[in-house]
Every structure is written in C-alpha cells, then in structure tokens.
Amino acid sequence: MPEAPVALASSLTAFRHALVCKRWLRVARSVHPAIVVPRNRFFSARTFASLLSSPTLGFPNLRHLHLGEFAMNSVDSRLVRSICDGCGSSLTHLTMHLYGRQPVTSMQSVRSSPAEQSTGSAAILPADVAAIFSSCTRLVNLDLRLGLGVCEIPPSISCLEKLTRLSMSFSNVTALPGELLSLCRLKELHLVSQSLRMLPNPFSCLTSLEHLSLRNCPMGHLPRDLGHLHNIKILSLSHLPGLAELPDSICQLPALSRLSLDHCPRFVRLPENLFQLPSLDTLHLDKLPAFTALPISFGQLPPGEPVASSPTIHTCPSLSSLPEDIGRLSALEYLYLKFVVRLTALPNSLGHLTALKELKAVECANLEVLPDSVSAMGALTSLILDGCFFADLPSDIGQLQNLDTLKLFSTRLSDPPDSFGQLGSLKKLTLYECYDLVELPASFTNLTSLETLLIYGGSSLMDLPLGFEKLSQLRRLELLNCSMPYLPDRFGELANLEILKVQSTDTYKRFGITSETVPPAAHLGYQSEGEEFQLDGSCSLQGFPPSFSSLTRLQQLIIDGCEMLEELPEGMGNLASLRVLKVENCKRLRVFPSLLPTAISTTATGPCTSAATSSSAAPPPLPLLEELVISCCPKLTNLPQGLDLLPRLEHFTLEYCTSSKLANRSTAVSLSASSSPPSPLVAPITLPRSVESIIISNVFKSAHYLPESFLSLSCLLHLNIYDLRSLKQLIAPPALAQTPAEFETDDIAASCAGLEEIPRGPIATGLSQLDLLSSLVHLHIVNTNLPSLPDNLGDLRELAVLQLEKCHAMTSLPDSLTTLSKLQQIDLKSLPLLTHLPENFGQLKALNELSLESCKALQGLPSSFTLLPSLIMLSIINCPKVTCLPDSLSSFTRLSSLKLNRLPGLRHLPSPFFLPSLVQFSLQGCKRLCALPNDLGGLSHLREVDLDGCPQLKQLPQSLRDRQKVIEVKGAWGRRR
C-alpha cells in the first residue's frame, strides 16, 4: 500500500535531519549534492525509493550516491528502479551494496510473484542491474557488490562509456561479458569473485587500464595478451589459489611500477626477464609457499640497469637463497625479507649495493651470518635484523657513516665491536631480547648523535658504560628487563633526556600478558609525543643518584613495579616541567618524598603546614603537574607533602595502599590551616580545587567519611569510590556548613559495602545536598548497602546516566526520579529487593536506553511505561516476576533493540506487536513462551530474532516464515536442539 504524501513529506524532513545529524548528507539540492546512506535503520527502502523518484521531493541534481547494504527483496528492486528513473541521468559516482539470497540464472526467467512482493522474499534481479547500466550513463566511478541473486553481468555495461573506475564484487558470476572490453576510458578495474575463472578475451582492448586488481578469483592463469596493456602501472594479485605463474608477456609492460602477489599457494615462478622492466620499483611477494627461487636474471643485469628498487619477500618458506650476483643491482634501494626460513646466508656481493638505503630481515631463523661486505654499503640508513641469530656484527661496521637506525631483535650478540662508536650518524639503536649482551663497548659514549636507545631483555647487562652522560643528544632511554640496580652517578647530566624507562616483563605477567599476545610496540611502550620518564617493573632498581633532580625537562615520571625500591628520589619538587607522576606496584616503598621545591620543603614526617608557613613569594610545587597516581604501594605510610598546593592538578588516583598507618597518620597529609587535627574517622587527604577526577579504592580502612574539603572541589567532574568498606557516609557530618554553593561533578561511582546511607535533610551530608551536584551527568553506585536513593534525586537536573549495581538492600527508587528531564540511560543490575519502578516513569521523555537485569523482586512495569517516546534500547533480563509487557507498544516508534531474556513467567507478547524500527529482538530462555505475535514478520526493519531456549514455542508465525530469507532466526527453540 503506497504511503501517504503527508507521510512522505514527514519522512523526508526526518530523513534529511537524520542525515545531517549523522554527517551523512554532505550537500542537499546544490549543484553537486552527495548522499551517503549506510545500513539504514530508520527508513525503509520503499520510503527512500519514493523520495528519489518524487518530482517534488527528489534529488534531480544528485551526483554522488553511496548506499550501504539493503535487504534485497522486491521493495529493493523498486529502489534500484527509482534511482535509475529519479537521478540516474545525473549520477557520476555510485556505490551500491546489493546482497540477494536467491540465485537467478537468467534475466528473463524470474520475476517476483505477488506473494513475494507482499512478503519481501524475492531477490534482486539481473534486469535491475541492467537498468543501472542503461540509465546511469554519466557514471565515472561505480562500486557494485552483488550477492547470490545475480549470476551474470548484463551486456548493457557497455553503456557506461565514461566509466574510469569499476569495482565489482560478486559470488555467482563465472564470466564477464565481452561488452566490458568496450569501456575504452576505464583506468581502474577491481574484481573480487569466488567463481570468476577467466577474464574476457581479448583483454588487451582495455587500452587505458592503469590499475588491475584481482582478488579471491579461482582462475588458473592470466590472459596472454596482458603485455599489450602498455599503460598499466599497478598489478595486484591476491588470494588466487590456482595461479602458478605469470605470462611471459608481462615483461612487455613498460609502465608497470608495482607488482604484488600474495596468498597464491601454487605460485612457483616469476618470468625470467621481469626485472628488466624499466619502471618497476616495487615488488611484493607475500605468502607464496611454493615459490622457490628468484629468476637468475635478478642478479645478472648490467650495472646501472633499471630494477625494482624495493623488493619485499614475505613468507616464502621454500626460498633458500638470493642470487649471488645481487650486488650488480646498483639501483636497489630497499630489500625486505620476512619469514624466509630456509635462507641461511646473504650473498657477499651485498656490499656492492651502493644505493641500498634499508636492509630488513625479519624472522629468518636460519640466517646466522651477516657478511663483512655490509660495511661497504655507504648509502645504508636503516639496518633491521629481527629474529636472525647473529652472534657478531662486522668488525668494521663503523664505516656505515649514513646509518641512523639500527635495530637488532632476538640475536645472540654478546659483544658489539669497538668500531661501534664510529657510527657518527646513528640516532636510533634498539637491542631487543639480546640476552647474551653483557656490556656495551667503551666507544659507545662516542655516539654523540644518538637520540634513542632501547635495550629490551638485556638481563645480563649490569651497568651502563662509564661516561654515559656524554650522550648529550639522548632524549629517550629505555632499559627493559635489565638487571642494573643503579643508574650512573652523573645521570642527571643528560640535559636533553625526555624519556627513561626501566621495566621487567613481570609488569605484563601480572595482567596475563605475554610476548606472544602483545606486539613489540606495545611491550616497548612507544608514545608519539611528549616527554616521558618511565621506570616500569624494574625488579632490580634500588635507588636514584643525587643528580636525578637535575632532569628539569622531564614531563612524565612513571615508576611501576620497582619491587626493590624503598625510596623515591629526593628533590622531586624541583622537576618544574613534570606533568604526570605515577608510582605503582612498588611493594617496598614506605615514604613518599615532598613535592615542594627544596627551598621550602619540610621533612617528610614533619607537620605538613606548607600552606600556612611558606613565603608568599615562594614558587608553587610542580607548577605543571596535571596527573598524580599512587597505586599498589602496600607499605606506603604517607601522602606527599604539598599535595594541596599543586596549582594545576586535574586527576588524582589513590589505590590499594593498604597500610593502616596511611589512614591514621595525620602528619602524613597536607592539612588546611585549622589548628586541630582531623578525626581519625575522616580520610586524611586534602586536594587542590583544580581537581577534576578522583579515584579512591581500597585505602583508609578505618575511615567512615571522606573529608569535607571534597565539597570545595568546584571543578570536580568524576568521583569514583571503590572498596572503601568502612565508609558509612560520603562526607563527614560537619561539612556542609562551610561549603560553597557549587559542586560540579560528572561521575560518581561508589563500591563501598559499608556505605549504609546517603543522608537526608538540609544539614545532612553526602549526596543528600544534591543541589550542590547540579552539574552531575553520570551517577554510578556499585556494591553498597543503601536501602534507597535520596527523595530529592530530582535536583540532579543535568543527570543523563543512572547506573545502580549490586545494591542489595535497595527496595525502591524515589518518585522524583521521573522529573529528570535529561535522563537518557537507566541501568539497574542486581537489585534483588527492588519491587517496582516509579508510577510516573513515562515522564522520562528523553530516556532512550533502559536495562533491568537480575531484579528478581520486580513485579512488572508501570502503566505509564508505554509513554516513553525516545526509547531505543530496552533490556529486561532475569527478572522472573515480570510476566507480561504493557498491552500497547505502539508508542515505541524508535525502539530498535528489544531483549526479553530469561523471563520464565513470560507466556505471551502483546498484540498488535507494532514496533516499526525494531531491528534486533531476543527472547532467550523464555521457557513458557508459547507463541509469537502474528504480525512479527511484518516489521520492515527486523533483521534478527533470537529464540534460543524457548522449548514451548512450537512454530513461527506465517509472516516470519515468509521473511526468513531477510530475517535471521537464531537459537534452538521448540523441539530443535
């Protein structure tokens, strides 16, 4: 039944509004408009087709159209025709992903029956594809993906005379029409097919072709006249299981610059004269298990003869050697070998490659010798040897005066040669898992250009060489899993040092991460920018030199997993550039040094009265510090002096510092100027007002309250409290009399089993004074004994997300919850005593996501529940007393996901079941559900129904059975197992 014009106009407005909001519609009704529509959940194909074909509502000047996957049925056939009729004559760029489910063997033999048109079960027709070719004659770029419904490409493809780029992906097409060869302007052809066995003949008719890409095609050979395509520049052959060789005519392609072959398991040889191609500069061979040898001509070209300047040989396990005369390839610039496991040696002539800039050998496990002639490659700038078991480097490696990057991974190197220090241009040196490395040569300190030094897995390396401070340009030093207990005494003289990292692999093992599961880059902790000093998991580091405080350029100091470390460096307050300070997993650390500059610092154990006693002209401590993390230091007895004076601190974390002295030692924290010490029941911590985020977890075991100073944190956005099991209320009782009128916060997460009450009343504490939390956006309470939330919860006018989890004593929600006009998400999980939702729940007009899980006492949903116009996702899971849904669901016009899982009391669903936007519907574990609504299959957007664990369900409604080619029915239901 056609849609009413009013509905069309309304749909058009909503359509354009949605596209603008999603940034899909770039230009509308302009000279060169473009529409991008991905998998659309909001508009049916019928509506979109009407918009395109309408003379008043269409897009007559449309140039670019990108359509994502639409289910291919008779309605989508109309969509194709609407594109052709409405804007086909103006389109220049078209992308359509048309996936059918029923094979069609001829263009004339199949048409949709009336029943198929009503149920939407017919596949896209080849005639529809032919209509695209015939109508869109101005196309220059076409990307077409066809499913099982199309078994042939129509001859009308010849109408696309202006086409310059064609990309087609199909499943059942076995041959391309000869008319394809008439596209004389075609420059790019990309074909992806599981059934295409040959290209049309004579393929050389595509005289303008510059880029040919074939992927997943079962063809066993390429056309012999391929060499007549004199303009072709790129030839990419991927996943061709039957391809064994290339035609010799490929050696006649004068413009070919890139040749790529990968995942061709039967490929055995390249043409003999391939490397005589004058323009070939890139050769990529990957995953060719049968490839045994490069052509002999690869190393027999006369000096100066053009050759591929960057060959890549990747995973060719049958390749055992390189040609001995490879040194004659004077134009070779890059050589990359990876997983060539039978390669045992590199040719001695390698040193004659005078133009070679990069030599890279990765996981060539049997490659144990690097020829001495390598030292003669004067242009070499990068040498990377990974997984090659070299025991020595050439003795005269120092002759490589242009080498700026040297990376040795998993080698047996034990003693670098003395000439190592002559590498005057070396900037980056990586020694990765060189476990036999005992010491660095004395000449090492002559590397005055060195900027980055990474030693990973040097467990035998006990010291850095004498005079290490002479590396004046060193900016990054990483010593990972090394055994040195101390840094050099003059370490602080490295004036340009920005990153220092000392770490052991134990840091990763604590989280179940190994070298097999994390790529090297993740192990090494590379960061793209910023200055960083990291000490991560160095199990042997015991202390810092006195000169450490001279590293004034440090911006990040991270000390992680230094289990032997008992003291942090003094003078940390002098690190004026420090932005991030993290101290984690230091099990023996007892005292945290002062953060005050040395001139005004008191002793670590003395009274922390810096706010009252320091001179007004004194500089602030660590003026740039933005983040402070203290975590997993169980013996720590104090917090740093000057904590409340950090002018730019934004993020503060204190976790798993379980010492009882930390909570009871009032002299260990920075206090206000009050004369009396705080109560031992109040957590002894004072923070600056600039703090935006706080995480406090498993500390202050005897504290019943957080300090009242928390209410003065006017910039606070996130407050996360976990596992403070002694906490009775959030804030100490006398707090609110002296607090400001503003408390901006964005996220409160509490996981405190001892938290019994969020007090009430005008003089009460904690969350009861909710007008102070007027900017609260996210409220998250976990694992508490709260019986309820405050009655004035509605004062949180900005609240958008409410999450309550494991609140085992909570029986109800306050009625004021329904006044939260901006609330968008409610997530209630494991509230076993919650019996009902507020009666006026339907007043939450902005609510778009509701999740009720394991609320086992919940009796049902309120009658006003159906008045939620914005609801998009609804989940009711494991609520055994919920036996039915409200009768009318028609108000949920935007609901796209509905999960009713593990509801043993649910016997039936309301009828009519009209949810026009529903895409996913789950009924897992509804053991007593006997039937589904008869109109379920009529929901045009429905794509998935999960009925797993519904044993009483005997059959599907007819409307759903008719659309099973479009709607996926999942799970074992009824008698199915």
**Is residue 385, in this structure, part of any structural domain at all?**
no
Indicate whether 70 belongs to any domain.
yes
pLDDT at 188 over 70: yes
DSSP E strand boundaries for 117-272: 141-146, 165-170, 188-193, 211-215, 234-238, 258-262
Mean pLDDT throughout 341-366? 84
Average pLDDT (597-614) is 46
Domain presence at residue 556? no
Residue 356: partners with Cβ closer than 8 Å, 6 or more residues away? 332, 333, 334, 335, 377, 379, 380
Strands 34-37 and 25-27: antiparallel
pLDDT tens by residue, 905-918 = 998 888 888 888 89
- For the segment 892-908, what is each residue's pLDDT rounded down to a tens digit? 888 999 999 999 999 88
Q: Which residues contact 613 (CB under 8 A, 6 or more apart)?
A: none
Does the pLDDT of residue 665 top 60, yes or no? no
Most confident of the following: 242-246, 461-465, 750-754, 909-913: 242-246
Residue 877: partners with Cβ closer than 8 Å, 6 or more residues away: 851, 852, 853, 854, 899, 900, 901, 902, 903
Confidence band of 52 (pLDDT split at 50, 70, 90): low
Domain membership flag for residue 625: no
pLDDT tens per residue, range 23-49? 333 323 233 334 444 433 334 445 555
Q: What is the pLDDT of residue 511?
A: 34
Say if residue 742's pLDDT is above 50: no
Residue 278 contacts residue 304 (beta carbons within 8 Å): no
Domain boundary residue among 174, 196, 218?
196
Pairwise CA distance, residues 126 & 122, whole Å: 12
Q: Is the pLDDT of residue 442 over 80?
A: yes
Q: What are phi and psi of 303, to 5 degrees?
A: -55, 135
Res 684 pLDDT > 70: yes
In this structure, is residue 166 part of a structural domain?
yes
Q: Is the pLDDT of residue 605 over 50?
A: no
Per-residue pLDDT, 153: 87
885 has pLDDT over 50: yes
pLDDT band at 112, cuts 50/70/90? very low
Burial (CB count within 10 angstroms: exposed 0-12, middle 13-18, buried 19+), residue 529 = exposed
pLDDT in tens, 492-538: 888 888 887 777 655 433 333 333 333 333 333 333 333 444 444 45
Q: Looking at residue 20, what DSSP letter applies?
A: H
Output the pLDDT for position 119: 33
Position 110 in a domain: yes
Average of per-residue pLDDT values in the chain: 75
Residue, of 747 and 196, whose pLDDT is higher: 196
Is the CB of residue 696 less than 8 Å from the CB of residue 654?
Answer: yes
Asked whether residue 730 carries a pLDDT value surpassing 80, the answer given is no
Distance between the two ends of the chain, CA-based, in angstroms? 40
CA distance 136 to 354: 54
Q: What is the pLDDT of residue 160?
A: 92
The reply to whether the predicted model has a pTM over 0.75 is: no
Helix axes 5-21, 45-53, angle to 10 degrees: 100
At residue 756 the predicted structure's pLDDT band, cuts being 50, 70 and 90, is: low
Determine the pLDDT at residue 274. Answer: 82
Residue 903, pLDDT score: 94
The reported pLDDT for the residue numbered 113 is 37
Q: Which residues neighbour 521 within 8 Å (Cβ) at sequence distance 6 or greater?
A: none
Cα 174 to Cα 713: distance, rounded to the nearest angstrom: 70
The pLDDT value recorded for residue 197 is: 86
4 domain residue, yes or no: yes
**Confidence tier at 161 by pLDDT (50, 70, 90):** very high
The DSSP element (H or E) to which 721 belongs, if any, is: strand 718-722
- Out of 180, 196, 212, pick the residue that ends a domain: 196
Confidence category of residue 828, pLDDT binned at 50, 70, 90: very high
Nearest residue to 776 (alpha-carbon basis) of 810, 803, 805 = 803
How many other CB atoms sit within 10 Å of the CB of residue 795?
Answer: 20
pLDDT confidence of residue 11: 42
CA separation for the pair 161, 167 (Å, rounded): 15
Q: What is the DSSP letter of 973?
A: B
For residue 115, the surrounding DSSP H or E stretch is: helix 114-119
Tell me what percent of the residues of the chain surpass a pLDDT of 90: 19
Rounded to an integer, the average pLDDT of 311-334 is 76
CA 618 to chain centre: 45
Q: Which two tokens stand for residue 469?
A: 């401070």
**What's the rounded mean pLDDT across residues 578-585?**
88
Question: What is the distance between the alpha carbons of residues 489 and 479, in angstroms, rounded to a whole number?
Answer: 17
Beta strand 747-751 with 778-784 is: parallel
pLDDT tier at 739, thresholds 50, 70, 90: very low
Look up residue 740 and give its amino acid.
P
Mean pLDDT comparison of 307-316, 385-394, 783-792, highest-scoring range: 385-394
Question: Could you tell me the CATH number of the domain that includes residue 81?
Answer: 3.80.10
Among the ranges given (58-67, 235-244, 735-744, 934-943), the one the predictor scored with the smallest mean pLDDT: 735-744
Within 10 angstroms of residue 418's Cβ, the number of other Cβ atoms is: 14
How much is the average pLDDT of 767-779? 60
Classify residue 32: in a domain, yes or no: yes
- pLDDT class for 19, splitting at 50, 70, 90? very low
Buried (b) or exposed (e) across 935-953, using 16+ Cβ within 10 A?
ebbbbbbbbebbbebbeeb
pLDDT over 70 percentage in the chain:
72
Domain that holds residue 889: 883-977
- Per-residue pLDDT at 402 exceeds 90: yes
Q: What is the pLDDT of residues 843-874, one digit of tens each?
A: 999 999 999 999 999 998 888 888 888 899 99
More confident residue, 364 or 120: 364
Structural domain ending residue among the three candidates 137, 164, 196 = 196
Q: Averaged over 363-389, what is the pLDDT?
A: 85
- Number of domains forming the structure of the chain: 2
Letter for the amino acid at 468? Answer: F
Asked if residues 51 and 58 have their Cβ atoms less than 8 Å apart, the reply is yes
Q: What is the pLDDT of residue 50?
A: 54
Asked whether the predicted pLDDT for residue 374 surpasses 80, the reply is: yes
pLDDT score at 213: 93
pLDDT of residue 68: 58
Which pLDDT score, from 0 to 100, does residue 667 have? 37
pLDDT of 767 higher than 80: no
Q: How far apart are CA 383 and CA 157, in angstroms?
A: 51
